[in-house]
Amino acid sequence: MEIFLDSLLDTLKVFPLILLIYILIEFLEHRTSFSENHKLLQGKMAPLLGTVTGIIPQCGFSVMAAKLYDRGFIRTGTLLAVFLATSDEALIVLIVDPVGAAAVAPLVALKVVVGLAVGYAVNFLVRDELAVPAPPEDIHGYSCGREHEGKSKLKVYFVEPLLHSLKIALYIFVVTLIFGYILEYNRDAILSSFVGGPYIEPFITSAIGLIPNCASSAVISQAYCEGGIYFGSMAAGLCCNAGLGFVVLLKNTKKIKRNLLLMAALYVVSVLVGVAVNAVCLAAGWI
């Protein structure tokens, strides 16, 4: 009961900040259109723009990028840059936790470097890939696939952020509760057998990151905050987490091979990033 109450109290402490962040994100999303910048999205700055927008903590931009890519308005490297930079709900979970907050800056820096490197490399290698000049209509994407059209301002800017915040708070509470019991009953033995060590973890967390649901990013980041996984393993899972971007692509069953190749590429890159970061941290004595 003590572990349960402590986990509940820790979750309630961060809930107001989570709600505030989601309200601010709704204002940002409602005023943002990827397709308005179609010239930048097809030029040399495209992977940079995609990476920067992907860093914003929600999956709306990965949804927009997937829609634009599926209709031929952006190139493959730009799409991968957005996907690799996207962390869905993870940054919000990290920001409100004392341990996680310290990891935000290095995580963002790492994802920016990876997004830029892969984005520009793929666009360079696939130079004959041409994009359609401009989308015929405005293309938006909202967190977890929610659309704003036809809804009152109260529902858009408060009710939906409130419901989303409650969902994320529930994920945080469950993970905190689980790790609370793990800490109580032989932490080292249970954790080492559960995740498999620094060179196996990235394979597991990257597979979890592929799950197109905000729960995956929240669970990965909260597991790091609780000391359950290494930094590189968290980075691998979050590089692989593209929110609902792949859901949009997989709706196009005519290009299933293309979509599976994109998923495989994202997974391989994420695993390599995680293993490399964990290896560097171990060599430097940071873990």
* DSSP-assigned letters across all residues of 214-233: HHHHHHHHHHHHTTSS-HHH
pTM above 0.85, yes or no: no
- The residues, any chain, with a CB within 8 Å of residue 178's CB and separated by 6 or more, are none
Structure tokens at 200: 């196996």
Task: Report the range of poorest mean pLDDT among 5-14, 18-27, 141-150, 269-278.
Answer: 141-150
Residue 281, Cα to own-chain centre: how many angstroms?
Answer: 22
What is the reported pLDDT for 184?
Answer: 65
For residue 7, give Cα distances in angstroms to 102, 194, 228.
Answer: 21, 21, 16
What is the reported pLDDT for 120?
Answer: 95
What is the reported pLDDT for 266?
Answer: 96
Q: What mean pLDDT do residues 12-25 have?
A: 75
For residue 250, give Cα distances in angstroms to 88, 228, 243, 247, 265.
Answer: 18, 32, 13, 5, 15
Task: Report the range of poorest mean pLDDT among 181-190, 208-217, 219-228.
Answer: 181-190
Q: What mean pLDDT do residues 195-213 have?
A: 86
**Inter-axis angle of helices 231-239 and 256-284, to 10 degrees?**
160
Mean pLDDT over each residue of the chain, to the nearest integer: 80
d(CA 182, CA 99): 18
219-232 pLDDT, tens digit each? 899 889 888 889 99
184: phi then psi, degrees, rounded to nearest 5: -75, -35
What is the reported pLDDT for 193?
Answer: 46
Structure tokens at 163: 């419901």
Q: What mean pLDDT do residues 179-205 have?
A: 70
What is the reported pLDDT for 37?
Answer: 54
What is the reported pLDDT for 262?
Answer: 94
What is the reported pLDDT for 39?
Answer: 61
Q: What mean pLDDT do residues 236-250 have?
A: 87
Count how many Cα atoms sit within 13 Å of the Cα of residue 117 in the half-sphere of its side chain.
11
Q: Does residue 113 surpass a pLDDT of 90?
A: yes
